[in-house]
Structure 1
Amino acid sequence: MGATFVLYADDMKIAALQMVSTLEVDRNLAAAAALVADAAASGARLVALPEYFCFMGQRDEDKLAIAEADGAGPIQDALATWAQRHGVWLIGGTVPIRAETPRRVYNACCVWGPTGERVARYDKIHLFAFDNGRERYDEACVLQAGQTPVVFEAEGHRVGLSVCYDLRFPELYRTLATPACDVLVNVAAFTYTTGQAHWDVLLRARAIENQCYVLASAQGGRHDNGRRTWGHSQVIDPWGQVQACVEEGVGVAQAEVDETRLRAVRQQLPALAHRRLG
């Protein structure tokens, strides 16, 4: 199947914000607000917070206590306020939004535009499970899986959303990138073990195979609950080259979506147009 290309927009600076979120929502919101302000002051127009930016609990069930109704609550209100205050497109990491099933929440990645209006919501489709005898996780105990891939447009750029474990499923990104995206976003809290092994190579693969920028915002450090996350928030160009990276701790990885670069990669190696399956 041939690829459909969109008209090229102007260059846009994008930023991945890295956090080491805590057990305290208010503390996390203050830290996130400062990072969004820093990125905006440096000229970023599209800004992404990491998964679980607002809360890293002792247990998965703890997020039920802070879950919000769709479109209403202090966490969502704060994100809308920051987007409007700084005039940015803000990808709000993930927020626990109550599901229809009792004691379940969606791990929702929502986006607010520069006016403070919400423009997109993506519910994480693929739920992480891992057990190596020392570490055990099963998100399906609390999370309700989403069903629908989501793309939104920011200043002429097609932007596709994904969350953490989604990164391992290239078919999701093929769906997002039909027609082609300028930026694919992954907001994450990769464990140190799986991140060290796979994070960088998976991100670069998604950029190379879809010939677009990848904006990856992650948790990166030792958390109050004892968990350690891999970090390495980064921006990758369509050739798979890392443009900016924060390895560990709090910080901002920022780079430019260069439309000339996008165009050159797709014209010199027209792999998207050569697709025959899917």
Structure 2
Amino acid sequence: MTGVTARDPVKVALFQMTSGIDPATNAAAITTSARDAADAGAQMLFTPEMCGMLDRNRARATLHVVGESENPVLAAARQAARSTGVWIDLGSLAILRDDGHWVNRGFVIDADGEIAARYDKIHMFDVDLATGESWRESAAYAPGEAVVTVETPVGLLGLAICYDVRFPALFEELGRRKCDAIRIPAAFTVPTGKAHWHLMQRARAVEASAWVISAAQGGHHEDGRETFGHSLVIDPWGDVELDLGEGSAIGFATVDPARTREVRAQLPSLANKRPIDGVVA
């Protein structure tokens, strides 16, 4: 794996997708976005949750849920990283584990095409919304258990996925580990996105005093769902540096470690934490 340390500003690219049901089509779009990122001088590309396939028809999706070694989107992303020299954060793919369970797994791929980190989504999206939408992620996916961080061009990157954003304990731990940035790729519904997306993303940046980089699905999808979009880059003070709005798009932002140092010096909340009843609060 190529070693990196974030000391200078780093240009990143976010690819907001409207992923469909065909992994080959989605893989081609990710490959193109990696070339676009490289042409623009970005060192790292971020893609959304379920960037390889978004299909709520589980019988149909089963045909494409395979192990890592067989997954065409993962293979294409690794090749794209090697050919462009750009790190690629695959927000997540549906992966078949050796024990037969599915997992919602994110990957960080270095500039040599090697897998630098894996993260299995911990919190399952099991909800019944007032709009009538009902989702049971746990009916198909097994939850992850491990908190994951990895050194990348943006510094120490903490990994989370979508619904994880609602669970502060995970971000408490990422803050304790002094992450420079946290990635939260997503496929947010429109109702929950309108209500909470910007609010929670900004809160996570502020409480961890870290950059938050959140590539999102956006638009009307082939399987009939609609996602909120608004891929974000947020600085450690909570200021929004990039918002891609609706639909498919690629956008760029600069992650500056000097801003992180500035915020942590002004408001050293990570250093000021104290135990309450034996628990860090």
TM-score range, shorter chain: over 0.9
Taking the aligned partners of 1:248 and 1:241, their CA distance within structure 2 comes to 19
Structure 2 vs 1, CA of residues 175 and 83 (structure 1 numbering), >3 Å: closer, same or farther?
Answer: same
Asked whether the equivalents of residues 60 and 139 of structure 1 are also in contact (C-alpha less than 8 Å), the reply is no
Aligned pairs, how many? 271
* Identity fraction in percent: 38
Supply the AA of the counterpart residue of 2:218.
G
Asked whether the equivalents of residues 63 and 96 of structure 1 are also in contact (C-alpha less than 8 Å), the reply is no
Bigger Cα displacement from structure 2, 93-102 vs 185-194:
93-102
Supply the AA of the counterpart residue of 2:146.
T
Residue 60 of structure 1 deviates from its aligned partner by 3.7
Asked whether the equivalents of residues 124 and 166 of structure 1 are also in contact (C-alpha less than 8 Å), the reply is yes
Taking the aligned partners of 1:199 and 1:236, their CA distance within structure 2 comes to 12
Taking the aligned partners of 2:24 and 2:55, their CA distance within structure 1 comes to 13
Bigger Cα displacement from structure 2, 198-207 vs 71-80:
71-80
2:171 is paired with a residue whose SS is helix
Residue 155 of structure 1 deviates from its aligned partner by 3.7
| Structure 1 position 272 matched with structure 2 position 253 | no
Asked whether the equivalents of residues 158 and 179 of structure 2 are also in contact (C-alpha less than 8 Å), the reply is yes
Residue 52 of structure 1 deviates from its aligned partner by 1.0
**Which digits, 9 at most, give the CA deviation of each residue in 1:38-62, with x for residues without a partner?**
1222121121110111111142454
Structure 2 vs 1, CA of residues 71 and 175 (structure 1 numbering), >3 Å: closer, same or farther?
Answer: farther
Taking the aligned partners of 1:94 and 1:105, their CA distance within structure 2 comes to 12
Corresponding residue number in structure 2 for 1:4: none
Taking the aligned partners of 2:179 and 2:261, their CA distance within structure 1 comes to 12
2:53 is paired with a residue whose SS is coil
| Structure 1 position 118 matched with structure 2 position 110 | no
Counterparts of 1:121-136 in structure 2, within 5 Å, are 121-132=118-129, 134-136=132-134
Taking the aligned partners of 1:61 and 1:147, their CA distance within structure 2 comes to 26
Corresponding residue number in structure 2 for 1:141: 139
Question: Which runs of no fewer than 5 residues in structure 2 stay unpaired?
Answer: none
Corresponding residue number in structure 2 for 1:69: 67
Residue 237 of structure 1 deviates from its aligned partner by 0.5
Taking the aligned partners of 2:59 and 2:159, their CA distance within structure 1 comes to 25
Structure 2 vs 1, CA of residues 166 and 156 (structure 1 numbering), >3 Å: closer, same or farther?
Answer: closer
Counterparts of 1:1-278 in structure 2, within 5 Å, are 9-102=7-100, 104-132=101-129, 134-155=132-153, 157-277=155-275, 278=280
Question: Which runs of no fewer than 5 residues in structure 1 stay unpaired?
Answer: 1-6
Asked whether the equivalents of residues 50 and 189 of structure 1 are also in contact (C-alpha less than 8 Å), the reply is yes
Supply the AA of the counterpart residue of 1:105.
W
Supply the AA of the counterpart residue of 1:159.
L
